[in-house]
C-alpha cells in the first residue's frame, strides 16, 4: 500500500511541476497582478479537483472510460481544443501576456471562479484522473470510493503546494520580470509548445 501511494505522490509531483495551462495561468496572474491574485487562482484550480474526484469515485468517470468510442471522442475533443488554444496564443501579441494595460484586472473572487471553471473543463485534468487514478488503488479491503477520495486529496495537496510556490515566487519578482521585454515572448512560446505537447499526449 505504501509503495503504491508513494508512486502516486511522485507522479502527481511531476505533473504539477510540468508546464501546463494551469500553472502558466497562475504564473502570469501572479506576475501581472501580484501573488494574492495568483493564490486566488490556485485555490480555484485546486477546488475544481473535487469535481473530478467525486465523478471518479462514484463511477461516472469509470463508465465513460469503459466506452471506448466515447472516451476517444473526449480525447479527440480535448486535443483539438488544446491545438486551438495553441493557435490562439501563436496569433496573439506576446506583450499582452504581461502588459498591465492590456490584461483585464479581476478581483480575487473572479480569479477563484475562473480557476475553478478552468480546472473542471480542462481535458488534461479529466484524462489524468480517468487514466491514472484507477491504477493507484492501494487496497483490496478499503472501499474504492474512500480510496479515490484519498488519492484526490493527495493530488490536491501536492498541487496546492507547488502552484502556491509558483504564485508566491512569481509575485515576489513580478517587477523585475515585467521589465524584461523578452519574458512575454518566452511565455507565449512556452504556452504554444505545452498546448501542442499535451494535445499529442492525449491522442497517443
SS (H, E, C) 110-126: HHHHHHHHHHHCCHHHH
Query: Could you read off the pLDDT of 172-183 as tens digits, one per residue?
Result: 665 666 566 666
Share in percent of the chain as helix, strand, coil (round to 5): 85, 0, 15
Please tell me which residue, 34 or 188, carries the higher pLDDT value: 34
Query: Could you read off the pLDDT of 119-130 as tens digits, one per residue?
Result: 888 766 776 677
**Rounded to an integer, what distance in angstroms lies between the CA atom of residue 166 and that of residue 188?**
18
Q: Is a pLDDT exceeding 70 seen at residue 187?
A: no
What confidence tier does 96 reach under pLDDT thresholds 50, 70, 90?
very low
Contact (Cβ atoms closer than 8 angstroms) between residue 136 and residue 151: yes
Q: Which three three-digit cell numbers place residue 136?
A: 493507484
How many CB atoms are closer than 10 A to CB 2?
Answer: 7
The residue-averaged pLDDT of 153-171 equals: 90
Query: Would the pTM of this model clear 0.75, i.e. be above it?
Result: no
Amino acid at each position: 500500500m505504501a509503495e503504491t501511494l508513494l508512486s502516486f505522490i511522485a507522479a502527481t509531483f511531476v505533473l504539477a511541476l510540468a508546464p501546463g495551462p494551469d500553472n502558466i495561468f497562475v504564473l502570469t496572474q501572479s506576475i501581472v497582478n501580484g501573488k494574492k491574485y495568483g493564490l486566488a487562482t490556485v485555490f480555484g484550480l485546486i477546488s475544481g479537483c473535487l469535481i473530478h474526484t467525486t465523478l471518479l469515485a462514484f463511477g461516472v468517470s469509470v463508465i465513460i472510460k469503459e466506452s471506448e468510442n466515447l472516451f476517444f471522442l473526449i480525447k479527440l475533443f480535448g486535443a483539438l481544443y488544446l491545438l486551438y488554444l495553441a493557435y490562439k496564443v501563436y496569433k496573439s501579441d506576446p506583450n499582452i501576456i504581461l502588459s498591465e494595460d492590456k490584461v483585464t484586472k479581476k478581483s480575487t473572487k473572479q480569479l477563484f471562479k475562473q480557476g475553478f471553471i478552468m480546472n473542471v473543463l480542462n481535458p488534461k485534468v479529466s484524462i489524468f484522473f480517468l487514466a491514472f487514478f484507477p491504477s493507484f488503488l492501494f487496497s483490496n479491503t478499503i472501499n474504492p470510493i474512500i480510496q479515490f477520495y484519498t488519492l484526490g486529496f493527495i493530488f490536491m495537496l501536492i498541487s496546492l503546494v507547488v502552484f502556491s510556490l509558483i504564485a508566491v515566487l512569481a509575485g515576489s519578482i513580478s517587477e523585475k520580470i515585467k521589465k524584461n521585454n523578452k519574458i512575454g515572448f518566452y511565455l507565449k512560446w512556452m504556452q504554444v509548445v505545452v498546448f501542442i505537447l499535451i494535445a499529442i499526449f492525449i491522442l497517443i
